[in-house]
Structures are given as structure tokens and as C-alpha cells.
């Protein structure tokens, strides 16, 4: 029997969806609280709370009544069609995953986050492995339900980058790796590398400058706040978007560029068209596109010669003379390529090599080719092979990232996809704004951030990820603009 399409059904569907999205935001706030101010002793209770919220959300998304409304709803415009696309996607996913499994994943990953943080602080891999093994087991079970006989890892990736597969990612990395490794090797052989930063920089002064940087990049403090977290992140959407950063007195760049990175995420969410607020398209369309915003804010804008000239002046005003003789030398210091363990502190040249390593390891974990008990050794061996340095402690190795503890398998590749998209967007941005460096040198980001808001951010999830980027740049995205940019930039810095 044919279903009669109805605008009334669409209106009813959207009313239901707004409540579901609002409840999802509440659950997200619980996650923010857990990573910032929650008492340590609350972890088990918070796990039960997260499981309860997941149960409510799962019941709403898998409700047969929602399916009937989706069958009957008729969209009147492109935005409505996009709402139906996203709702159909979330409903189809929810009906494949048993509610009990969804709740157990929410409970386990909530508690696992605290277990990971304690193990990381204690440099104790053994304390984390049983929890990680349970997370992997649950996520493989979930992926099996979603894949329905297909590739488990593909099902995981699709959660974060719709339409992307493990094979697509492997092909992307196969294209990127040779040029990145060749550039890295040339840089490491350069005769006169930039000067490293030294000294101590007070935490309070770092945080004051970090707040000013967030403002400079367009963060709306009336709808957000900044706190400290072990692993910086952005949380929320619409009118409540929160960021975190971290502080190390010997490394202010960690604080400054983590802040700029998270502001990129936050501005994407704050700048989505207000008409989409608390709807399925009132959010970033994918993690790859999300990362394109954070990475272009952090790297192509924040680490540019023009902007670092302005930042150099700011640092001298706030910290006094700190051993870097000129703005040009400071530009080299900010972009210094050096061996390092930590992905989030990595330079632009080596960053994607970190992601490639994680992609291979987690893909092997999910396929069963790598066991959780063997992960530390596999990580350390691969890191030594890829970066030429032996891992000295677990917090510099497999315990450095929060992602696996909270079940984010398939997420890591979106960082590199975001870098690829950012390279394409930067090329188009420079074409449209030939005087951009003049603004950046004055600490004015509005021309660049307005361009990104208009081309990307305001659309939310109106378009599919690849269509959004293609529309923004006028052609299909490729890795070439990013790789060309890196080779030009670092050849100049290192006189290659």
C-alpha cells in the first residue's frame, strides 16, 4: 500500500526531532562536565546516568512511530529534504543496534574515560587494558550490527564521515604518505633549523592570551566558556558551545594552538544558520568537515607568517623578551619540525603520519589481526619505524589519546581528511581574499572567518560532506593543495 506524503507528518516529525536533539545536547553537557569539573568519585554514577540518557535517545530514534512519520513526511524545500536525510540515517542506525548494547557502550565508555585518565597519569598500561578490551568488544558488536555482514571498520568510519570507507582512507594515505615522508626527511637534514622555544610562561598569562586568541578568531563568549581538560575538546552546538584547553608552563604553544583549534570547532557550531537550531541539520555535517575548520584556523591561519608576526608582538607584551630575536625567527619557531611523541603537539608536516599509524593500528584491532594485549608493543614498534624515536613512556605512546577509551574507532582518519579539506579551502580562500595577509598581520581574522562562515559553517548539515566542500571550493577536493602548501611553506622556512 502506498504511503500518502504529508506536510503535517513532516511538522510532527520535526517537533519530535527537536526534543531528541535537545536531549542529545543534555547528554553532551554531562560529557563536558565529566571531563572538566566532575568529582573523581562520581565516575560510576555518571556511567549509569549516561547509559540512562542513551536508553532514552535510542528509544526515541528507533521508535516505529518515527519510522512511520519518516515514511509519511514530505519536505517542501532543500532544508527539509536534508532534515529527512539525517533523520532517516539516524533512525536506520538506531534500529540496527539493540538498546541494551547502546546503553552498555554508553556506560562502559563513560567509566573508561576516567580509567584511561588515571592509567595515563600513573603510566600504567596494564591498568587500562581490561577496560580497553571491553570497549573494543562492545564496539565490534555494535559495528557487526550496523555492517550486517559488511566490513566492521567501514561501519565505524561511516559514523563520523558518511560515505567514507577504510579503503578510501587507505588510498588517501597512500597518496599523501610519500610526499610527506620525503618532505620530512629533507627537513630533518636541513643545516639551520629554527630556534626552539625555551623558558617558562605563567599559566595565568597563557590563559589570558588564549582567551584573547579565542576572541580574535571569532568565538562568541556569550554562548560559550573555556575550561581546562586533560585532552582539549569542543562540546555543544547552537547557543551553548564550550571549549577546553590545557597549559604547560614550558610550552605555551600547546595552550595557544589547542585553543585556536577548538575555537575552529566551536565557531562551526556557533555559526550554523539559527533556523536550524536544535534540528538534525543544526550541527557540523561530519568530523572531516569539522576538522577542516579547526585545522585551517590552527594551521593555515594561526601558523601563517602574517599572523605569527602579530602573535610575536603579543607574546613580547605579555611575557617580555623571551629569547626569539624577530618576528621572522618566531615564525620559524612556531613551525619548527622536530621528533615528538604527541599527536596534538605535532607540526603540520608530521601530524598526518601520526594519524596514519593510528588508522592502521585500530583497523587491525577491529579486524582481529591485532589483540588489545599486543597493542602497546605494536604501537611502540610502529612509532619507532615511522618517527625514528623509541617511545619513552605510555603517556607518550598508546595512552596519549582519549579516543579509544571512549569508543571513537574510525574517528582518527577524519583528522587527516580535515587537513585535506582545509588545504582545499585555504587555496580557495587565498584566491578570494588576496589581501588576507594584511589583515592577519594586524590580528584581524574577520575576513577569513566570515568567508568560512559563508562557505561552510552556516550550512550545518544541509549538504553532504563532499558536496559541501566541492561547493565551497568550486571543484572536487584532493590532497594536492595541502601537500603543495606544506612543501612551499617548509621549503622556505628550512631553505630546502
Contact 219/270 with Cβ under 8 angstroms? yes
Per-residue tens of pLDDT for the chain, all 496 residues: 445 678 899 999 999 999 999 999 999 999 999 999 999 899 999 999 999 999 999 999 999 999 999 999 999 999 999 999 999 999 999 999 999 999 999 999 999 999 999 999 999 999 999 999 999 999 999 999 999 999 999 999 999 999 999 999 999 999 999 999 999 999 999 999 999 999 999 999 999 999 999 999 999 999 999 999 988 999 999 999 999 999 999 999 999 999 999 999 999 999 999 999 999 999 999 999 999 999 999 999 999 999 999 999 999 999 999 999 999 999 999 999 998 999 988 999 999 999 999 999 999 999 999 999 999 999 999 999 999 999 999 999 999 999 999 999 999 999 999 999 999 999 999 999 999 999 999 999 999 999 999 999 999 999 999 999 999 999 999 999 999 999 999 999 999 9
Biggest alpha carbon–alpha carbon distance for the chain: 78
Q: Tell me which of 3.50.50.60, 3.40.50.300, 3.40.50.10540, 1.10.1370.30 is the CATH number of domain 166-493.
A: 1.10.1370.30
Q: Domain locations in the chain?
A: 7-150, 166-493
Contact 293/280 with Cβ under 8 angstroms? no
Contact 132/120 with Cβ under 8 angstroms? no
Residues designated as active site: 262
What confidence score (pLDDT) does residue 344 get? 87
Residue tagged 579539506 (cell numbers):
421
Question: Strand 234-237 to strand 226-228: parallel, antiparallel, or no bridges (unpaired)?
Answer: unpaired
Instruction: Using the Cα atoms of residue 23, residue 284, residue 87 and residue 416 in order, give the sign of their dihedral.
Output: negative
Ramachandran angles phi, psi of 260, nearest 5°:
-60, -40
Reduced to 3 states (helix: H, G, I; strand: E, B; else coil), residue 219 is coil
**15 Cβ contact list (under 8 Å, min separation 6):** none
Contact 180/349 with Cβ under 8 angstroms? yes
What confidence score (pLDDT) does residue 409 get? 98
What confidence score (pLDDT) does residue 376 get? 98
Reduced to 3 states (helix: H, G, I; strand: E, B; else coil), residue 250 is coil
What's the rounded Cα separation, in Å, for the pair 196 and 446? 30
The rounded mean pLDDT for the chain is: 96
Kindly report the pTM of this predicted structure.
Answer: 0.96
Partners of 237 in the beta sheet?
240
Which of 398, 342, 402, 341 has its CA nearest to residue 125?
398
Burial of 145 (0-12, 13-18, 19+ CB in 10 A): middle
What's the rounded Cα separation, in Å, for the pair 223 and 230? 23
What confidence score (pLDDT) does residue 3 get? 59
Residue tagged 630546502 (cell numbers):
496
Contact 72/9 with Cβ under 8 angstroms? yes
Amino acid at each position: 500500500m502506498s504511503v500518502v506524503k504529508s506536510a503535517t507528518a513532516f511538522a510532527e516529525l520535526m517537533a519530535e526531532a527537536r526534543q531528541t536533539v535537545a536531549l542529545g545536547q543534555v547528554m553532551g553537557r554531562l560529557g563536558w562536565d565529566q571531563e572538566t569539573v566532575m568529582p573523581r568519585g562520581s565516575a560510576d554514577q555518571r556511567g549509569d546516568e549516561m547509559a540512562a540518557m542513551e536508553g532514552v535517545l535510542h528509544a526515541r530514534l528507533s521508535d516505529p512511530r518515527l519510522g512511520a512519520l519518516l515514511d509519511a513526511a514530505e519536505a517542501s524545500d532543500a532544508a527539509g529534504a536534508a532534515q529527512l536525510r539525517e533523520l532517516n540515517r539516524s533512525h536506520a542506525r538506531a534500529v540496527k543496534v539493540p538498546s541494551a548494547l547502546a546503553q552498555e557502550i554508553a556506560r562502559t565508555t563513560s567509566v573508561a574515560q576516567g580509567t584511561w585518565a588515571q592509567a595515563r597519569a600513573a603510566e600504567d598500561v596494564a591498568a587500562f587494558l581490561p577496560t580497553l578490551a571491553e570497549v573494543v568488544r562492545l564496539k565490534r558488536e555494535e559495528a557487526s550490527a550496523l555492517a550486517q555482514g559488511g566490513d566492521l571498520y567501514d561501519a565505524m568510519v561511516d559514523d563520523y564521515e558518511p560515505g567514507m570507507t577504510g579503503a578510501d582512507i587507505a588510498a588517501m594515505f597512500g597518496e599523501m604518505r610519500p610526499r610527506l615522508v620525503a618532505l620530512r626527511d629533507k627537513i630533518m637534514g636541513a643545516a639551520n633549523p629554527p630556534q626552539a622555544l625555551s623558558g617558562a610562561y605563567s599559566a595565568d598569562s597563557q590563559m589570558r592570551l588564549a582567551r584573547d586568541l579565542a576572541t580574535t578568531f571569532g568565538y562568541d563568549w556569550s554562548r560559550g566558556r573555556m575550561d581546562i581538560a586533560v585532552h582539549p575538546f569542543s562540546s555543544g552546538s547552537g547557543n551553548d558551545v564550550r571549549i577546553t584547553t590545557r597549559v604547560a608552563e614550558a610550552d605555551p604553544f600547546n595552550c595557544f594552538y589547542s585553543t585556536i583549534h577548538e575555537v575552529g570547532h566551536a565557531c562551526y557550531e556557533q555559526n550554523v544558520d539559527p533556523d536550524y537550531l536544535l534540528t538534525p541539520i543544526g550541527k557540523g555535517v561530519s568530523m572531516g568537515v569539522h576538522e577542516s575548520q579547526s585545522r585551517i584556523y590552527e594551521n593555515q591561519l594561526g601558523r601563517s607568517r602574517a599572523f605569527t608576526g602579530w602573535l610575536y608582538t603579543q607574546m613580547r607584551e605579555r611575557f617580555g623578551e623571551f629569547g626569539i630575536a624577530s618576528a621572522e625567527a618566531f615564525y620559524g619557531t612556531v613551525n619548527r619540525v622536530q621528533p615528538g611523541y604527541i599527536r596534538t603537539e605535532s607540526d603540520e608536516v608530521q601530524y598526518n603520519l601520526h594519524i596514519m599509524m593510528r588508522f592502521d593500528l585500530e583497523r587491525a584491532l577491529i579486524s582481529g589481526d591485532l589483540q588489545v594485549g599486543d597493542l602497546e608493543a605494536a604501537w611502540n614498534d610502529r612509532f619507532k619505524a615511522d618517527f625514528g624515536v623509541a617511545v619513552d613512556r605510555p603517556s607518550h605512546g598508546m595512552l596519549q589519546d582519549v579516543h579509544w577509551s571512549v569508543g571513537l574507532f574510525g574517528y582518527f582518519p577524519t583528522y587527516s581528511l580535515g587537513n585535506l579539506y582545509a588545504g582545499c579551502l585555504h587555496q580557495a580562500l587565498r584566491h578570494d581574499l588576496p589581501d588576507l595577509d594584511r589583515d592577519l598581520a594586524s590580528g584581524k581574522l574577520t575576513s577569513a572567518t566570515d568567508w568560512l562562515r559563508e562557505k561552510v559553517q552556516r550550512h550545518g548539515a544541509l549538504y553532504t560532506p563532499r558536496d559541501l566542500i566541492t561547493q565551497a571550493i568550486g571543484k572536487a577536493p584532493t590532497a594536492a593543495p595541502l601537500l603543495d602548501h606544506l612543501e612551499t611553506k617548509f621549503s622556505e622556512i628550512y631553505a630546502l
